[in-house]
Amino acid sequence: MTKPIVYGIDVFCGAGGLTFGLQKAGVCIAAGIDSDPICEFPFTSNNGTRFIRADVREISGWDLSALYPSGAIRLLAGCAPCRPFSPFRRGTDNSSDEEWALLAEFGRLVEELKPEFVTMENVPGLASKPIFRKFVCDLQRLGYHVVSESVYCPRFGVPQHRRRLVLLASLIGPLKVPTGSLPPERYRTVREAIASLPKLAAGETDPRDRLHRARSVTETNLRRLRSSQPGGTWEDWPEDLRAKCHRKKTGSTYRNVYSRMAWDEPAPTITTQAYNFGTGRFGHPEQDRSITPREAALLQTFPRRFRFVRPHEEVFLARVGRLIGNAVPPRLAFFVGKEIMRVATAHRRGERIA
């Protein structure tokens, strides 16, 4: 077997979506680091590599340096929590949020370690923040070639209308942010991703897959589901089913909740509460229920065999939803990894890097 030439450490690794995709591209991940203990099982059992439970603020570049094998081309990957920068927190000042400073901590690790490659992924809105501009300037000051771009996930074959900010930085040659090549007529759809799963009613669980579990709904929400149109809004409902907030002037702006997905389009962005009909357009296209965590994971491009909970462990929807919704889609991570491998391979061969 050929020895890997790029070894990475995945900071804020979560369930391991980024690691899974990078390893498929040929990057060997030496370790994942996260402060949340529920990440350990999915990260280690699906990726076959080490998990370190630690707060990024309490580790140093020296600590990380010891995890890489001698002579490796090193990658530091870090997708700091996006909650402070999320578009769903419009109109709030999040700069005092303790997670706000984690990007700066990631920058500190880069400066202390000086790996050959750096990558990060976050919500597109981060690009307009001073903390991101400082992060980029600091990388450039250290001698990195830095590129960043907002990418549209359906162009990579991810079946959801997800946009993400991707940054790549290199000390050994210029690289490019992959932007995907699929035209709209070839975007993967909800149907392609989840139509093969067994049918369920609200509140039911597939006996062969505990993650294929539909949340129970109230009688009112069941009536709302039955009145919802794929890709529609709550405006499709009879007047008596509309909530008080929908009748207010401000309610008219919230059209992306309480609705069904459309079969033949990519899904909406999968969030940490995608199992809940009322938090987005997360109604199943034709079954009277919200989508299940397994369906959410497939829409994130996790393989169906991916395990998020230990055998016989109870499946808590909020916990699993957080693991899935916060993850980097593995298919997006794969293309990021391919670009890193392209530059690393050319460097090792002494070739000119375009």
Pick the catalytic residue from 82, 137, 153, 245: 82
Q: Is 157 left (phi over 0), alpha (psi -120 to 50) or beta?
A: left
Question: CA distances (Å), 335 to each of 128, 159, 176, in order?
Answer: 24, 15, 11
Question: CA distances (Å), 265 to each of 159, 209, 229, in order?
Answer: 8, 25, 14
Q: Return the number of other C-beta atoms located less than 10 Å from residue 148's C-beta.
A: 22
d(CA 31, CA 11) in angstroms, rounded, equals 8
First to last CA, the chain: 28
Q: Give phi and psi for 23, each to the nearest 5.
A: -70, -35
Nearest CA to 162 out of 27, 40, 326, 276 is that of 326
Residue 82 appears among annotated catalytic residues: yes
| Positions marked active-site | 82
